[in-house]
Amino acid sequence: MKSFPSLRRIWFDGILFICNRVVGHLPSHALRKFFYRSVMKIEIGEKSFIFCRAHFDARGGFRMGNHSTINGECRLDNRGGIVIGDNVSISAQACILTADHDPHSPTFAGRERAVRIDDHVFIGTRAMILPGVTIGRGAVVAAGAVVTKEVPPLAIVAGSPAKEIGHRDPTFDYRVDYCRLFA
């Protein structure tokens, strides 16, 4: 006979359900930000926004700097920790993973590795960032790219797996202040 899930498990899964299926769909940045900060225990800097239908995998383990934007329908697997710097723009449907399984383990053991995204990074639509990756200051990840290893500062990467295709000018004179009223 199977045992019932513990109350702790019900609480955890309930919070994630409310976060991803209810709060994540509310057309109010203020309400979502309040819930994310107070209930989900994630850090969101000033003038930073997480648009509708973002999906989180855990409470905590997420820190986002100032003037950064995460567009709609992004998957944010924060189990292993995600740190996002200032003036970062993450396009719609991007996927940031911090947990996977070790294919060399006889038990297919789970593992978690943090992802760090430094200041002034741009990540294109449907890009995928795999566990343990650091994306350096000012780098650009093209739409649809699959980032499997560290991206140096100012590099422009594209493809699957992502490869360097260019360099960005190191002079930055902008703030990411992108917010839509009902997003």
Report the pLDDT value the prediction gives residue 3, as an integer from 0 to 100. 62
Which CATH fold would you assign to the domain 7-167? UDP N-Acetylglucosamine Acyltransferase; domain 1 (2.160.10)
Let me know if 114 is exposed, middle or buried by CB neighbors in 10 A (0-12, 13-18, 19+).
middle
- Taking the complete model, does pTM exceed 0.85, yes or no? yes
Least confident of 9-13, 36-40, 178-182: 178-182
The confidence band for 4, taking pLDDT boundaries of 50, 70 and 90, is low
Residue 125 β-bridge partners: none
Report the pLDDT value the prediction gives residue 82, as an integer from 0 to 100. 98
* Residues with catalytic function: 101
Report the pLDDT value the prediction gives residue 2, as an integer from 0 to 100. 60
> What whole-number distance in Å separates Cα of residue 82 and Cα of residue 105?
25
